[in-house]
Amino acid sequence: MSQWIGAIILVAGFVFLFQLLGLVNKSRGVVRVANQSLNIIRSPQLSDEEKEVKLQKNSQKLFGSFFTLALGGAFAVLIPLGVLWFGDRFGWLSLAFTLDTTFSPAFLIFSSVLVFVVLGIKPRKQHPNSETQASSYSNLDRTLHQLAFNTYTAQIAIADVEDTMFSKQLANCQTERPVFITALPRAGTTLLLECCADLPEFASHCYRDMPFVLIPCLWNRFAQSFQQTVESTERAHGDGMKISPDSYEALEEVVWKTFWKRHYQKDRIIPWDNEENLEFNEFFDSHLRKIILLRRGNSAPSVRYVSKNNANIARTRILKRLFPDSVIIIPFRHPLHHASSLLQQHLNFLQIHEADSFASDYMKAIGHYDFGQNLRPIDFDGWFDRRESRDARSLAFWLEYWVASYKYLLQENADFLNFLDYEALCENPIGGLRSLAEVVESCDPDALVSSASGIRQPRPREIGTNALSASLLKDANLIYDRLREISLN
């Protein structure tokens, strides 16, 4: 740990002094004068004598700039190095181990990100949603994200440093009574998340936590220098919902994906048993505190974490064990409408991923295996090998997936889950949100209910059932009837 702290002091000190001494602008000035010199040489309007005079002046500028950069650069290196030397003399750290850490691959990646951000190399204003507007990223944006996607293990180590740096603030944050909203995609989870997360009593992930999701406090501090206000745009689903960098999103899956790799197989995700991973438990609890701190700051002690994560339906018992006072909300829809929506989005994202491989990489890296080329269904009770429909481009496939998912949730976990009827919510938003406020024990139910004005009825759609077996339709209807019987609204 001490060598990581020392390495951070060395790099951060260098970057800070480099900026403080104005060497960033001086470097840009060198490039500017060099370009001017090239233009002078190429200019047909200037005589040789005029060129010589101008080039001599530029040479003097360049020499002075190079001297300043060399002297300032040495100063920016030696000052933090001197601090570490004193630390070594007093036995606080090992200078040799610190230098080894500084030049290790993991830390070189981390420090590169720090230099990118602090020295003002700014990404474009566009901010993609986690499902596809990644196509609007510049090459620098994509490089930064690929860097984050390939350093999750290193970020776990850096998160320990983050814990230490923000320990006082994090001590004021609690993970009591978190709310987990989860279901198959297209069930209204995003809508429910927005209704809750807009309230001051809740905190959630948002797009600004990308791409370094595992070290959100450090990333937020570094990224503040270039974060900009961006207008909302419609998300890639084509459902009319608008997003911006401050919109809430399902990003906690990155944590699960990093600690539970064996559950993520090539063609499916294996549901979690009541498994134990002490390192994950500690990290996840700390991670929730960091999100609360980032979103609510000084009011954090009274704030609760809320998330929307579709894959959480595969591990509800673990969530309940980790947070016994948590509230788990599972919205559901009419099976045919839901399966049809899932199919439509799968076809949509197949086209998106075919057109832009980075969009596919983006979704895969943050654990969104719901649609498109990245599709990895959750294999509830082994349904994936037993499925009748092998084609994910068919309605039958998605209806089988719906049946397997909600059958599992009803049989295994219905005693502590709270099912919510999405269609009933759209028909009666005020009543549905009042029931939700009661279940989550909101401290301001009226504020939650006030978001009812933003809830609209889904568009009606004709769905053909000729290709569906009678037995599959029967199973789906029986499960749907049972869900409606126990629905909280």
pLDDT at 3: 65
Q: Are residues 95 and 181 in the same domain?
A: no
Is residue 65 a part of any domain in this protein? yes
Quote the tokens at residue 97: 């181990």
116, part of any domain:
no
Whole-number pLDDT of residue 132: 43
User: What is the model's pLDDT at position 227?
Assistant: 55
Say yes or no: 344 and 286 in one domain: yes
Which one, of 234, 346, 365, 221, lies nearest residue 293 by Cα?
221
235: domain range?
A: 133-486
Report the candidate in 57, 31, 30, 55 with the shortest Cα–Cα distance to residue 41: 55
Instruction: Out of 51, 86, 103, pick the residue that ends a domain.
Output: 103
pLDDT at 431 over 90: yes
Q: pLDDT: is 238 or 446 the higher one?
A: 446
Same domain for 209 and 358, yes or no, is: yes
Domain assignment present for residue 427? The answer is yes
pLDDT in tens, 113-158: 655 554 444 444 444 444 445 555 666 667 677 777 877 887 888 8
| Average pLDDT for 301-306 | 92
User: In terms of domains, do 311 and 187 share one?
Assistant: yes
One domain, residues 96 and 137 = no
Per-residue pLDDT of 174-227, as tens digits, reads 999 999 999 999 999 999 999 999 999 999 999 889 888 999 998 888 777 555
Residue 110 maps to a domain: no
Decide if 117 is inside a domain. no
Residues 171, 217 within the same domain: yes
Please report which confidence band the pLDDT of residue 399 belongs to, taking 50, 70 and 90 as the band edges. Answer: very high
CATH of the domain at 424: 3.40.50.300
pLDDT of 393 strictly over 90: yes
Higher per-residue confidence, 451 vs 11 = 451
Mark which of 63, 88, 103 sits at the end of a domain: 103
pLDDT in tens, 250-300: 899 999 999 999 999 999 999 999 889 999 999 999 999 999 999 988 777
Q: What pTM value is reported for the model?
A: 0.73
Nearest 5°: the CA angle 96, 99, 105 is 135
**Which DSSP symbol is given to 305?**
E
Percent of the chain predicted with pLDDT > 70: 80
pLDDT digits (tens, 9 = 90+) for 61-94: 766 676 677 677 677 777 877 777 777 777 777 8
Residues 148 and 45 in one domain: no
Looking at 103, 121, 146, the residue that finishes a domain is 103
Q: What percent of the chain shows pLDDT beyond 90? A: 50
The predicted pLDDT at position 110 comes to 62
> Does 89 share its domain with 26?
yes
Q: Do 53 and 93 lie in a common domain?
A: yes
pLDDT band at residue 239 using 50, 70 and 90 as cut-offs? very low
Q: What is the pLDDT of residue 36?
A: 75
380 in the same domain as 479: yes
**Residues 13 and 158 occupy one common structural domain:** no
The average pLDDT across 5-19 equals 72
**In the predicted model, is pLDDT for residue 11 greater than 90?**
no
Average pLDDT, the chain: 83
Question: What stretches of 224-356 show up as alpha helix (H) in DSSP?
Answer: 253-259, 278-296, 316-322, 335-355
Please indicate, yes or no, whether residues 169 and 95 belong to a single structural domain of this protein: no
The string of DSSP codes covering 39-55 is: HHHH-SSS-HHHHHHHH
282 located within any domain: yes
> Within a domain: residue 213?
yes
pLDDT at 472 over 90: yes
CA distance 182 to 188: 9
Question: SS3 for 457?
Answer: coil
On whether residue 126 sits in a domain, the answer given is no
Count how many domains the chain has: 2
Q: Shortest CA distance to 151 belongs to which of 219, 98, 204, 93?
A: 219
